[in-house]
Amino acid sequence: GSTLFPSIDALPMCDMVDLGELCPSLVRLWVGLGWEKQIDIDGDPYDLDVLAFCLDEGMRLPTKKDFVYHGNKQNTLKTVHHRDDFFQGLPQQDNETLMLELEHMREELHEVVFVVLIREARIKGQSFGQMNSCYLRVYDKFNSRQRNLFKFDFMKNFRHLIDGEATAIEVG
């Protein structure tokens, strides 16, 4: 599909983007996390998760329900939903998906921060520095058509910023 930015490299690091200003017609926003199946030297697969922290104007988490992940499928406003959790890693497709209903968000939800982490990374001795591929993409979808707004390819674009022992990455 079409892309608003030719590459994430076009955005300066640490810049904030207001998607409401950039794409005022957006009704829903999708966040997809993908990685290729990878097994560590002990035979354990990498299992990544995408988490959403739904913050208020004071940049606080209002309730535990406003932390959205595979174990808590939606926030208190019912505007951020965890949709899929395929833990093995699929080649070139999203393994986890979040959906944000922008049209129903109210002022109480000031910002959504996403964190990508490797589940049980410390126990298994896994880190992003050992991974071959991992991305987080932000897109909109109408029927079966998708339009990427951003794609963060961690191994391609940000490997130099990821500590070899990092087990979590904050985006947003």
Per residue in 56-92, pLDDT (tens digit) is 989 999 999 999 999 999 999 999 999 876 666 566 6
Give percent of the chain above pLDDT 90.
Answer: 37
155, amino acid identity: M
Residue 11 pLDDT > 50: no
Q: Return the pLDDT at 4.
A: 40
The band of 6, judged by pLDDT with boundaries at 50, 70 and 90, is very low
Measured CA distances, 17 to 21, 22, 143, 149, 171 (Å) = 8, 8, 26, 11, 12
| Sheet (strand 111-118) strand order | 67-68, 48-55, 111-118, 168-171
Tokens of 34: 């993908």
End-to-end Cα spacing for the chain: 23
pTM of the model: 0.82
How far is Cα 172 from Cα 169, in angstroms, rounded to an integer?
Answer: 10
